[in-house]
Amino acid sequence: MSWFSKVKKPLEAITSRDKIPEGIWKKCDECKAIIYGQELDNNFQVCPKCGHHHRLSARERIRLLIDEGTFQEKDGELAPNDPLKFRDSKKYKDRIAESKKKTGLNESAISGSGLMCNRPVEIAVLDFDFIGGTLGSVAGEKITRTIERSIRSRHPAIIVSSSGGARMQEGIFSLMQMAKTSSALGELDELKIPFISLLAHPVTGGVSASFAMLGDVIIAEPKALIGFAGPRVIEETIREQLPEGFQRSEFMMDHGFVDMVVPRLELKETMAKLLDHMCGAIACLLPLESKEDSTDSAKSGA
């Protein structure tokens, strides 16, 4: 006679992996710790265990840097087309459709106006999840328009880069954006309007060869890969082993290519202080409401 007359089956609702909602737990790419997904989201994708910076979407980046409720998106309706009818392993137009669905954006860049610690700024952010954050004709146009708005308003310009470079599917139309954005920044520089360039992992190719490295102050997040060609390509070309940490933020700062390496959660406060130092007490740092009030007062006085 057996000791047990009934054998209970395991609770499938608890043990079955397909019953656990996706994204509740995430593994850190660096320390491999298992982290509650909401905790990572609340910490702007910075691992609370080791401080590793995971990739941040463009909209999350806006939420990190711009005061809540002040961001006004501009040119959001602009979207790329397929001028070359390009196809590699899949059609370019299909890649665009997939990226739109994945990110909720029409292009790799999101741009607009807002306040950073009550300081008005014009901002553009590249999203790596949209075809590798590549610089296409529409992304270049949106960045150029951001700079032009900065020129008209005299507000500082902020550009956040996370990109694999120029978008090969658009050929020369993409490469032209390097010159166009750089030319607009030249006009901004002549007017002495501040431009801060923030580099997030990775920044390579045509983006690193143009506007990303033209900031009055260039800030990088920790351990971001920054360079034109990647280290693997360089090693295969020169047939030499590169030094440890080559092309990472800290290496680039030590060699004079980057001014500051700032942890993500300290970026907003650091950038706001930089704008204070760069602009002093000039009009571009007045809150938007104060500028409108002063203009109205001047008109009534006249």
Non-local (6+) Cβ contacts of 129 within 8 A are 55, 57, 99, 102, 103
The residue assigned the tokens 């260039």 is 218
- The strand pairing partners of 199, in sequence order, are 161, 220
**pLDDT confidence of residue 171:** 95
What single-letter DSSP state applies at residue 200? E
Domain ranges in the chain with CATH number 3.90.226.10: 56-301
pLDDT of 295: 46
Q: Which pLDDT does position 297 carry in this prediction? A: 40
Does residue 221 register a pLDDT over 80? yes
279: number of CA atoms within 13 Å, CB side? 24
| Residues 54-109 pLDDT 10s | 999 999 999 999 999 999 999 999 999 999 999 999 999 999 999 999 999 999 99
- Assign domain 56-301 to its CATH superfamily: 2-enoyl-CoA Hydratase; Chain A, domain 1 (3.90.226.10)
For the chain, the average pLDDT equals 89
**Average of per-residue pLDDT across 259-278:** 96
Q: How far is CA 273 from CA 118, 195, 196, in A?
A: 12, 14, 12
Are 129 and 57 contacting, i.e. CB atoms less than 8 angstroms apart?
yes
pLDDT above 60: residue 121: yes
**Which is more confidently placed, 299 or 275?**
275
Q: Which ranges of the chain does DSSP label H, i.e. alpha helix?
A: 12-15, 37-42, 58-65, 92-103, 137-153, 172-190, 205-208, 231-238, 249-254, 267-279, 288-301
Report the half-sphere exposure of 120 (CA within 13 A, side-chain side). 22
For residues 254-261, give the mean pLDDT.
97
State the pTM of this model: 0.85
**pLDDT exceeds cutoff 90 at 169:** yes
Q: How confident is the model at residue 154 (pLDDT cuts 50, 70, 90)?
A: very high
CA–CA distances in Å: residue 208 to residues 61, 166, 257: 19, 10, 11
pLDDT tens string 13-30? 444 445 556 678 999 999
174-198 pLDDT tens trace: 999 999 999 999 999 999 999 999 9
Report which secondary-structure segment, H or E, holds 36: strand 34-36
| Nearest in space to 105 (alpha carbons), one of 134, 78, 83 | 78
Q: Is 30 exposed, middle or buried (0-12, 13-18, 19+ CB in 10 A)?
A: middle
Confidence of residue 36 (pLDDT cuts 50, 70, 90): very high
**What pLDDT score was predicted for residue 230?**
87
Contact by Cβ (8 Å): 63, 140: no
